[in-house]
Structure 1
Amino acid sequence: MSVHRGFTEADVPDQSGKCFIVTGANAGVGFELSRVLAARGARVLLGCREKGRAEEAIARIKQITPSANLAWLPLDLGDIANLRAAAAKASQEPRIDALINNAGIMYPPLTRTKQGFESQFGVNHLGVFVLTSLLLPKLAETQGSRIVVTSSIAHLKAKIDWDDLNAERSYSKVARYGASKLANALFFFELDRRLRANRSPVTTIGVHPGVANTSLGRHMGPAQWAGPIVGLILNSADKGAWPALLAATGTVKPGGYYGPTGFGGIRGVAGEAKRAPQAEDPVLARRLWDVSVAMTGVDPGLPAV
């Protein structure tokens, strides 16, 4: 990859013999990640809730790459019990080279996860926290394995309401989405610090896809009217996958943050991205870590730095 040119899917090297987990793999950016990795020879576990959609995605990829090595991993980020089962199933693989935490939800009406958490914080952060924590021992078996956590440019001006994490007093779908993406940024920041301090062979990297034109925005309502016009501005799903492909397969800095480098970080080739000062606040990061352990009952087992 040329530092000046940036990273695209054309820069993804051969991945033969490696195994990747991609969450939210049946559509959008997750599908594109799975397509590219399979084409480069990797085994890909498609983390999806619905078997039918997973099988449809697998069939589409095999039309492009008939030799693709793909399997469905039943996965629901809104249910901790399901995540325990998914991690146990994935851990039966001979190796896992990268967990790409891609799945998420955006701007839904107030809903709750199986355990009763506000859904955006519960799915986008707590689900990622749990799945990553449960897979850490398996990932640590492979030198150079990676964890990719997807944040968003929405984290830049976001704040976490520590006194109302579960939205029992108020709910703004936009503010809660931003808070969940700030939580993603704080999580990979703190996870990187702890992994390095404990001399783990696992590397953590954060990414954002720009503003990708995918089904993630299905709850946006009137904002979708612009259709083709918006499409000229937004990143396409295949290009939105470039930062995560860079993070999972390219040359990166441990704890680095990557995204599109053009048009205000919305679109373009992948490279280093800007993050908010509060996303690198060790006090906030440790607070989130402790709260996440308390809420989920899952402890990654990495002592604080």
Structure 2
Amino acid sequence: MNTIIMTGGTFGLGEVAAQRLSASPDTRLIIGGRETRLPLELARLDSIKQFARQVLDTLGKTKINALVLNAGLSFPTAARSMDGYETTFAVNHLGHYLLLRLLAPSLARNAIVVLTTSNTHDPMFSPVAPFPFVDARQLAYYNLEKGSHGSIAFESGFRAYATSKLCNLLTARAFAASTEVNARRLRVIAYNPGYTPGTGLGRNLPAGALPGPAMALSPYFAEVMRIQAGEVLADLALGRIVPPKGRLYASLVRGELTWPEPSELAQSDKVAQQL
């Protein structure tokens, strides 16, 4: 039995991935979310700890073959998590980091860990770059710049999102370099699905906030992009797609999966270890 734990599997590309994973023979999929059988609220550290305990209690001695950390959101207001942290950082990075650390001891030998990141982490590809610092404490308590009506300025909110995606990539690199990963021959992948219409990423953003020509896509092509992004995510988790040697950043570009170098900052071992 192939046992897979997943976040962000009830909507958007994650829903497609979850359906593909569930359809795979001899696969047991456990999804953590607000309305799933094992509840998970990534903005609350106590919820993450409870979810991890429930997963381990449910599995008993069974090991985890794949861990898919896919959930992510953007926030238009300077919100704080239940623990007092800036919410984009808390949900997109901190919650997944904690879940990874809690479940890592139960990963099987040769298990696969996939973290969903974004090419917005790279200033070379995104018109709105991440913040010029990657300090966990500073990001956790950062006050996003406010715009009109108490909402945050779009640039400030998008930079917080891009930085959280940079943190996902740094987490993948730091974990991949750890002793436990090498000892158990785990595979770690940071996956950029590209812009995917119809996902839940922008559900907290005001109408028209997401830039780019993709907003004008027909419903047909938007659905094609969502399905492809989700199917690639599932195939990475199932081991059907194997990274080239020395690569962990998978980037879906115009329908083709590539394995480029991440941004210069994302390649910094010092920054990864400090984070």
Q: Describe how 1:129-168 pairs up with structure 2 within 5 A.
A: 129-139=97-107, 142-157=108-123, 158-161=130-133, 162=135, 164-168=138-142
How far does residue 196 in structure 1 lie from its aligned partner after superposition? 6.2
Match of 1:236 among 220, 225, 229: 225
Indicate yes or no: 2:256 matched with 1:269.
yes
- Higher mean C-alpha displacement, 157-166 vs 278-287: 157-166
Change in 2 beyond 3 A, CA 1:169/1:73? closer
Contact 1:48 / 1:75 at 8 angstroms: preserved in 2?
yes
Output the aligned Cα RMSD.
Answer: 2.4
Q: How does the TM-score come out when normalised to structure 2?
A: 0.81
Partner of 1:257: 249
Aligned partner letter, 1:153: N
Deviations 1:181-223 (A, max 9, x none): 1111111011101146752342211101110111211215224
CA distance in 2, matches of 1:194, 1:152: 23
CA distance in 2, matches of 1:80, 1:255: 31
> Which runs of 5 or more structure 2 residues have no equivalent in the other structure?
124-129, 146-155
Change in 2 beyond 3 A, CA 1:197/1:19? closer
Aligned partner letter, 1:269: E
Partner of 1:216: 201
CA distance in 2, matches of 1:216, 1:76: 16
Partner of 1:77: 42
3-state DSSP of counterpart to 2:251: strand
Indicate yes or no: 2:270 matched with 1:283.
yes
Q: Describe how 1:1-80 pairs up with structure 2 within 5 A.
A: 17-41=1-25, 42-50=27-35, 54=36, 72-80=37-45
Instruction: State the identity %.
Output: 27
Give the length in aligned residue pairs: 245
Change in 2 beyond 3 A, CA 1:107/1:87? same
Match of 1:245 among 225, 234, 253: 234
Aligned partner letter, 2:194: G
Contact 2:16 / 2:231 at 8 angstroms: preserved in 1?
no
3-state DSSP of counterpart to 1:222: coil
Q: How does the TM-score come out when normalised to structure 1?
A: 0.73
Aligned partner letter, 1:277: E
Partner of 1:176: 160
CA distance in 1, matches of 2:118, 2:206: 16
Deviations 1:117-149 (A, max 9, x none): 10011110000100000001111xx22111111
Contact 1:160 / 1:182 at 8 angstroms: preserved in 2?
no
Indicate yes or no: 2:69 matched with 1:101.
yes
Change in 2 beyond 3 A, CA 1:269/1:169? closer
Contact 1:107 / 1:220 at 8 angstroms: preserved in 2?
no
CA distance in 2, matches of 1:220, 1:240: 24
Change in 2 beyond 3 A, CA 1:133/1:197? closer
Change in 2 beyond 3 A, CA 1:201/1:110? same
How far does residue 101 in structure 1 lie from its aligned partner after superposition? 0.2
Partner of 2:126: none
How far does residue 74 in structure 1 lie from its aligned partner after superposition? 1.3
Change in 2 beyond 3 A, CA 1:235/1:100? same
3-state DSSP of counterpart to 2:208: helix
- Higher mean C-alpha displacement, 272-281 vs 180-189: 272-281
